[in-house]
Every structure is written in structure tokens, then in C-alpha cells.
């Protein structure tokens, strides 16, 4: 396990080196990859480990960005505190979402998170005087948070550090006894409760943490493009991260992060050829769900294993027949 982590770290640092020295467009894409990677890991904690299928995560993502943007533009708070405000907003909204959905499971849970997410989206759209409505907020700069972040290169490095820290922290968490309990929440809440854990408290904790991580990604996005709008809170954003988790293999952290990278690259490449990104995105949703609704990575792995097993079985059969012939 340790070996694998260091392998990932080496790979990531290599990408980073590449990114720092590459032309600005690639830096832009790489920064997006890292940010979406953080969001995907935050989502995976809830879906992959906790087994809670949420379709309201865009609200957690967006509220981070809005928290930062509003506190930067509308008050005299010190730069780095605005980041904390964004994270705290995500944490609180996450916990609130868990509280509101406490009694729901399965499809009811999914739809209720969707409705809550859409409520936040509507709120941001409607309260024009505070959030700018559809126009969003764009009157802030990265150097308002910290002057060191002004250059794109520095920001890329900061995002990378952020992604690595988030990964390591989440890795430690899912490896801890708490992380085992989390898997219990996914596999059998009843048994978890019988063992003396509280599934309800667990839900609140995991949603709060996931909310904080998702908000972090929203903050990074807001800082990256210098803008936050209601699009960040949209249902499509929630669905994207769910599809990314499924694509990369839920319950692995690394898988969804890598899938997030693929998603961003595909988005950039396809958008440079055609304006029909929505069409491609929609088709991708359908294909992923038809092929492997539980995780594309798992389906591929299972198929590969089946094939090797079949080959092995065939080989033994052949030798056995040869034995008979003799």
C-alpha cells in the first residue's frame, strides 16, 4: 500500500513538473484536473465508502466558492480567512444536508439530496442583490487571498499541494477505525448499529467532511477563474461528479480522481472541436450507466479476471485430456 502511494506521488509530481513548464493552456487544464480531482475524492468518501448516493453535491461545491467570493468582496476579512469561511460553509451545509436526509435511504435519499441541491441553486439564482443571480460574482482576485498565489504557476502548485493533502488525509481517514465504520454504514447500517456505532452520527460526520472537501474544490475553482456563478450549483455539476465516481471506481479515492482528470481532458478536447459538449456529456452518462452502473473500473477488472480464469480452465482441461490420451 505504502509503495503504491509513493508511486502515485511520483507520478503526480512528474505531471506537476511538466505542468509548471508547459504553456499556459496546459497549466490551465492541469489546474482544472486537480480541482475536479479534489471534488471527486470528496464525493467518493460519501458514495464509495459511505454508500450514500447523493445528487446534491454541487451545492456543497458551489457554496464554498460563494462563501469565499462573498466574504472577499463584501467585508474587510483577511485573505486566508475567506478560504476558511468557504470551507466552514461547506462543512455546515454538508451536516445540514445529512440532518435533513437522516430518515431517508435509497432513492428517497438521492431525490431529497437532489431537491436540497436545487433549492440552494434556486436561492443563489433568486437572491440577485446578494449573489448577483445568474451573473454570479466576479469582482475578486487570487492575490486578495494571498499575494503568493497571483501567478498561474504558483496557483497550480498550490492546487497540487491541496490535492495531495486532501488525498492523504482522506486515505488516513478511510484506513482508520472510523473508515471501517464508514464501510459498515454502506454494507449494513443495522449491524453497524448493533456494534454500538451510530449510523446517524456517522452520516453527519461523513457529509460534513465531504462538504468541506467539496467546498475546497469550489473555492479553488472560484480562485482559478476569478468567478463563481449558479452554474457551479447546478444539477449537471452534481451528476458529473457522480458519473466520474462511477467511471473511476467508487471506494478507491484514486479512481475517481483519475476519472476526473480524464473528464476534464475530454471536455477540453471535445469542446475545441464542437459546440455540442452537452450532447457528448449526455451520451457519456448513458453509456457509462448502461455499461457498468457500479463502477466501470470494477466491470473491466472483472471481465479481465474472467478471461484469465477461462484461459486457465481451458489449459487445465487440455492437459487433463492429454493425460487421458496417454
Partner 1 sequence: MSFIEQLLVGLSFGALLYLIAAGLTLNFGLMGAVNLAHGSLFVLGGYIAVDAATLLSGGPTNTTVLGATVVAVVVVGLVGVALDALLLKRLRGEFLAQVVATIGVALIIRDLLITRYGGVPLTMPHPPFLSGSLTLFGASLPKVRWFLIALGVVVAIATEVVLARTTIGLQIRAAVDDRDMARAFGVPVDRLFRWSFGVGASLAAFAGVLAGFVSHVEPNNDFAILILALAIVILGGMGSIRGAAVAAVLVGVINQLGIRWLPELADFVLFIPVIAILALRPSGLFGTRVTVR
- The residue ranges that bind partner 1 (CB under 8 A) are 53, 55, 99-112, 114-116, 118-119, 122-123, 125-129, 234-236, 239, 242-243, 246, 276, 278-279, 281-286, 288-290, 293
Answer yes or no: are the C-beta atoms of 219 and 68 closer than 8 Å.
yes
Minimum Å gap between C-beta 20 and partner 1 is 35
Minimum Å gap between C-beta 7 and partner 1 is 31
Q: Give the DSSP H or E segment for 252.
A: none
Minimum Å gap between C-beta 83 and partner 1 is 27
Please give the grid coordinates belonging to residue 129: 442583490
Which CB, 278 or 324, lies closer to partner 1? 278
Which CB, 202 or 242, lies closer to partner 1? 242
- Taking the C-alpha atoms of residue 33 and residue 36, their distance in angstroms, rounded to an integer, is 5
- Taking the C-alpha atoms of residue 152 and residue 112, their distance in angstroms, rounded to an integer, is 39
Which CB, 172 or 291, lies closer to partner 1? 291
Please give the grid coordinates belonging to residue 184: 459498515
The length of the chain in residues reads 326
- Taking the C-alpha atoms of residue 126 and residue 225, their distance in angstroms, rounded to an integer, is 23
Minimum Å gap between C-beta 100 and partner 1 is 4
Minimum Å gap between C-beta 135 and partner 1 is 15
Question: Which among 276, 207, 290 is positioned nearest to 243, based on CA atoms?
Answer: 290
Minimum Å gap between C-beta 6 and partner 1 is 34
Which CB, 19 or 132, lies closer to partner 1? 132
Residue 112 CB neighbour total at 10 angstroms: 19
Which CB, 21 or 108, lies closer to partner 1? 108
Which CB, 127 or 314, lies closer to partner 1? 127
Please give the grid coordinates belonging to residue 239: 451528476
- Taking the C-alpha atoms of residue 63 and residue 144, their distance in angstroms, rounded to an integer, is 19
Which CB, 30 or 95, lies closer to partner 1? 95
Minimum Å gap between C-beta 84 and partner 1 is 27
Question: Which among 111, 65, 70, 63 is positioned nearest to 89, based on CA atoms?
Answer: 63
H and E: helices and strands count for the chain: 14, 0
Phi, psi of 292, rounded to the nearest 5 degrees:
-160, 85
Amino acid at each position: 500500500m505504502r509503495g503504491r502511494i509513493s508511486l502515485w506521488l511520483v507520478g503526480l509530481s512528474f505531471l506537476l513538473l511538466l505542468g509548471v513548464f508547459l504553456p499556459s493552456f496546459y497549466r490551465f487544464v492541469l489546474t482544472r484536473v486537480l480541482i475536479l480531482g479534489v471534488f471527486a475524492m470528496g464525493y467518493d468518501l460519501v458514495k464509495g465508502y459511505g454508500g450514500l448516493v447523493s445528487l446534491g453535491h454541487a451545492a456543497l461545491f458551489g457554496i464554498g466558492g460563494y462563501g469565499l467570493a462573498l466574504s472577499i468582496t463584501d467585508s474587510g476579512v483577511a485573505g486566508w480567512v475567506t478560504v476558511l469561511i468557504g470551507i466552514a460553509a461547506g462543512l455546515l451545509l454538508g451536516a445540514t444536508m445529512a440532518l435533513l436526509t437522516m430518515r431517508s435511504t435509497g432513492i428517497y435519499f438521492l431525490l431529497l439530496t437532489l431537491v436540497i441541491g436545487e433549492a440552494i441553486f434556486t436561492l443563489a439564482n433568486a437572491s440577485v442583490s446578494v449573489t448577483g443571480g445568474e451573473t454570479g460574482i466576479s469582482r475578486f482576485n487570487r492575490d486578495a487571498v494571498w499575494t503568493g498565489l497571483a501567478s498561474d504557476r504558483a496557483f497550480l502548485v498550490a492546487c497540487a499541494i491541496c490535492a495531495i493533502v486532501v488525498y492523504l488525509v482522506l486515505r488516513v481517514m478511510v484506513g482508520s477505525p472510523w473508515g471501517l465504520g464508514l464501510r459498515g454504514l454502506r454494507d449494513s447500517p443495522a449491524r453497524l448499529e448493533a456494534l454500538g456505532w451510530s449510523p446517524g452520527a456517522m452520516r453527519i460526520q461523513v457529509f460534513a467532511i465531504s462538504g468541506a472537501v467539496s467546498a475546497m474544490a469550489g473555492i479553488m475553482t472560484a480562485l482559478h477563474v476569478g468567478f463563481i456563478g449558479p452554474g457551479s450549483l447546478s444539477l449537471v455539476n452534481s451528476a458529473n461528479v457522480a458519473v466520474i465516481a462511477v467511471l473511476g471506481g467508487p471506494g478507491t479515492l484514486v479512481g475517481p480522481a483519475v476519472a476526473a482528470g480524464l473528464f476534464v481532458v475530454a471536455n477540453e478536447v471535445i469542446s475545441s472541436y464542437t459546440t455540442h459538449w452537452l450532447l457528448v456529456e449526455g451520451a457519456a452518462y448513458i453509456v457509462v450507466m448502461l455499461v457498468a452502473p457500479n463502477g466501470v473500473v470494477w466491470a473491466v477488472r472483472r471481465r479481465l479476471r474472467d478471461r484469465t480464469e477461462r484461459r486457465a480452465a481451458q489449459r487445465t482441461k487440455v492437459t487433463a485430456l492429454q493425460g487421458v490420451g496417454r
